Amino acid sequence: MVQTESKLENQLIAQLGKSGWQFRPELNHYSLIVNHFRVLLNRRNIDKLDGTLLTDQEF
């Protein structure tokens, strides 16, 4: 059975959603994904970072 790439992507998104992942359509470019990850990393480790965000070199 041949399956379109679009159908496969939609099935993957649905499966990940059932596992607690959230589809973020606005993160549609690599640089946006990296920036989002950096924000989350800083936010979730703010106590370990002593309130100082990671520099470009540290990230």
pLDDT tens digits for range 23-38: 899 999 999 999 999 9
Mean pLDDT, all residues of the chain: 93
Alpha helices in 1-59 (DSSP H): 5-18, 30-44
Q: How far apart are the C-alpha atoms of 34 and 47, rounded to whole Å?
A: 21
Count CB-CB contacts under 10 A for residue 30.
8
Report field, pTM of the whole predicted structure over 0.85: no
Using one digit for the tens of pLDDT, what is the confidence trace for 43-56? 999 999 898 999 99
Q: How far apart are the C-alpha atoms of 13 and 16, rounded to whole Å?
A: 5
Q: What is the pLDDT of residue 51?
A: 86
